[in-house]
Structures are given as structure tokens and as C-alpha cells.
Amino acid sequence: MDRITIARHVALALTALCILACGQSVPAQSMRSATGKSASKYIPPTQQPYNSMARDTTPFNCDQYRTHPHPGMARYCQGIENMTLRNEAHRQGRPAPSDSIIALPGLGTAEAKQLGYACVGGQAMKRLRNGWEQVSAAAGGWQRCQGG
């Protein structure tokens, strides 16, 4: 064997020894508990998808455009809002909201008890014997409401 081959073998052997030495020191540096199993790693909860209607079923507040100089501005805003809410519900696998918004009394009022319908968080609810049921709109989707 010539000198170059011997030098390569020596360098390869030294590299292997260094890798083994470094690999052996890593477990020695970690702390282990003598009392039992180590605690499992914390897994944070998954972030929920964004919900435009979490606080209000009319997030664009299109009523502010009722007095706008251009007569179609309120309808335009309502159309964009409906499309946005429908697309968001579709992406997240939820039923889509209705395009229409009705006025209903708030939950717990005498008017709601008499009528049998109430607005709860922007959703129209119907009174049943054992609770409340979400109302479906005639045109499809769940009925949105204002009031209460």
C-alpha cells in the first residue's frame, strides 16, 4: 500500500472514532429522573379556524351604507358579505348561513316566550319542548337574525 492509501485509511478511522465519541457524550449530558418515566411533551391545542360570525352575524355592518349617496352600495355590501360568509362556511365544512336577516326578540324576553322564536348570537332559534332548535331559512342555510 502506498502512503496516500494509508493516509486515507487513517483519516477515515479517526473520523469514525470522533463520530462515535460525540455520539456517546450526548446521552450523558441529558438529565434523567430517578423517580420514573419522564413527563410527556406538551402538545398545544390546535388553533380553531377563523370564524367571521363569532361575535356578529353581520360582520361587514352593511347598515352603515343605507344613507350612502350611491343607491346600490348597501346591496353591494350585502352581496359581498353573503359571498364571504358562504365561502368561509364551505371551506370549513359548516352549513352556510342564509342571505336574509330577520328581526327577532332576544332570548329570555316575554316576547320571545310568546312568539316561540328568539335571536341567540345572531342565529334564529325555535323553542321546542325540551330546548331550542336552529331555524333553517326557506332559501337554504341557517337563518340569520338581528335583535336581542
Q: Are 83 and 75 in contact (CB under 8 A)?
A: no
Name every residue whose Cβ is closer than 8 Å to that of residue 35 and which is 6 or more positions away in sequence: none
pTM across the whole model: 0.60
Q: Where along the chain do its domains lie?
A: 62-146
Could you give the CA distance from residue 148 to residue 6 in angstroms, rounded to a whole number?
A: 89
Average pLDDT over residues 28-57: 75
The pLDDT tens digits of the residues spanning 6-40 come to: 877 777 776 766 676 666 555 555 666 666 676 78
Q: What is the DSSP letter of 135?
A: P
Range ranked top by mean pLDDT from 19-28, 30-39, 44-53, 138-147 = 138-147
Residue that the C-alpha cell 350612502 belongs to: 68
Q: Are 102 and 66 in contact (CB under 8 A)?
A: no
- Residue 86 above 80 pLDDT? yes
DSSP-assigned beta bridge partners for residue 101: 144
How far is residue 74 from each of residues 53, 58, 63, 98, measured CA to CA in Å? 19, 13, 7, 17
